[in-house]
Amino acid sequence: MTRNQIFGKVLTVWTLTLVTTTVCGCTTLTAKFQDSVSQSAQNSQPLRKLSTKSDSGYSVAYSAEVVKANNPVASTLLASAGTKTVKLWHPSTGKLIRTFTGQAWAVNFSPDGKILASGSQNGNLNLWNVDTGELIRTLQHSQPVIDIVFSPDGQTIASGLDQGANMRLWNWRTGKIIPIPDDSNASTKGFDNFKSVPIVFSPDSQTLFARNGSGNAINLWNINSGKFLRSFDAQSLINDVAISADGKILAIGIRDKAIKLWNVSTGKLINTLTGHQGEVRAVAFSPDGKTLASGSQDGSIKLWNLSTGKLMSTFMAQKEQVWSVAFSPDGTTLASGSQDGIIKIWQVLP
């Protein structure tokens, strides 16, 4: 999401009406309001709230489960980005472990959970040692860093920049920029401006999905050759993108209050999921690829069954718009961050 999008940034039971359309051969699933009744406690109340003292939760991220020498039990951490600090939490207890000074728009962990990356308004992408809190390296940019993604192999960081600036690929260990080859054939077809947020790597780390210059489509690129492979036209401004763990499904959250699901290999639109009353700001797949979470400007989070396209649950999450959602590595909980500055942990599975 861009910085402008960030600022531009009685419970109910929902039933689904299935509407079949011949457009693109796809199916649209619409969640309609039925009546005002109390939902179950599981859906109405978060498992835990993490106070950030109004330090807005622009971004949340779980670490991988890590086993330490002095503790044989695997544990995971949660990071949150805010207007003044980056915070590191123990999500199972709500305990604040460490605070890193400095504003951040985005946070993300390396795949092994040992490095925390934070991107800030001043253009700095800071890399922190999770165990010690030590600042390892700062990667400098000329524009605010509003998106950070590690490649699944842990070798590369992609940094997304504000104000339409080109994103960067970094060898984070050396601090050197990785050149992105130009596809001259793609350039002649108008696909040259692909280096834009939101961005996500494929599971094999060989390709990259990034929003195009108009903001209405996601383009797929081969990182090594720079070759343009395919475009996914959402026909609406794209706020967030996610890919399933097996790399087969691409989810796109858009301004038109919907989520679009695509078959990556064929480029075919599979489903359009609707039901939010505001822009869809955040999307995330569960680790097993069976569930999709979506966070909206309307303050709600929805969980979708990907095999059926049906709405599973609605969490009335925040008083303000939801900016970020993230599943825990085991898929049992979901974290959400929003403009009200409260990070919430939701029970997804028993």
Per the CB < 8 A criterion, the answer to whether 57 and 25 are in contact is: no
* Structure confidence at residue 253 as a pLDDT band (50, 70, 90): very high
Confidence check: pLDDT of 265 > 50: yes
Q: What's the token pair of residue 9?
A: 């940034």
- Please tell me the CATH superfamily of domain 57-179, with its number: YVTN repeat-like/Quinoprotein amine dehydrogenase (2.130.10.10)
CA distance 260 to 159: 24
Confidence check: pLDDT of 317 > 60: yes
Q: Within 10 Å of residue 36's Cβ, how many Cβ atoms?
A: 9
Residue range 62-110, pLDDT digits in tens: 999 875 655 545 589 999 998 888 999 999 999 999 999 888 999 999 9
Q: How do the domains of the chain map onto residue ranges?
A: 1-39+234-350, 57-179
Closest CA to 295 of 326, 341, 340: 326
Q: What's the whole-model pTM score? A: 0.84
CA distance 317 to 310: 20
Confidence check: pLDDT of 29 > 70: no
Per the CB < 8 A criterion, the answer to whether 293 and 287 are in contact is: no
Pick one of 3.40.50.300, 2.130.10.10, 3.40.140.10, 3.30.70.260 as the CATH number of 1-39+234-350.
2.130.10.10
Backbone dihedral angles phi then psi of residue 39, each to the nearest 5 degrees: -85, 170
pLDDT of residue 215: 87
Q: Do domains 1-39+234-350 and 57-179 have the same CATH topology?
A: yes
User: What is the average per-residue pLDDT within 41-58?
Assistant: 71
Confidence check: pLDDT of 192 > 80: no
* Structure confidence at residue 12 as a pLDDT band (50, 70, 90): very low
SS3 string, the chain, reads CCHHHHHCCCCCEEEEEEEECCHHHCEEEEEEEEECCCCCHHHHCCCEEEECCCCCCCEEEECCCEEECCEEEEECCEEEECCCEEEEEECCCCEEEEEEECCCCEEEECCCCCEEEEECCCCEEEEEECCCCCEEEEEECCCCEEEEEECCCCCEEEEEECCCCCCEEEECCCCEECCCCCCHHHHHCCCCCCCCCCEEECCCCCEEEEECCCCCEEEEEECCCCCEEEEEECCCCEEEEEECCCCCEEEEEECCCEEEEEECCCCCEEEEEECCCCCEEEEEECCCCCEEEEEECCCEEEEEECCCCCEEEEEECCCCCEEEEEECCCCCEEEEEECCCEEEEEECCC
Cα angle value 290/292/298 (rounded, 5°): 160
pLDDT of residue 19: 31
| Mean pLDDT lowest among 189-203, 244-258, 288-302, 306-320 | 189-203
* Structure confidence at residue 34 as a pLDDT band (50, 70, 90): very low
* Structure confidence at residue 224 as a pLDDT band (50, 70, 90): confident
Closest CA to 123 of 109, 102, 108: 102
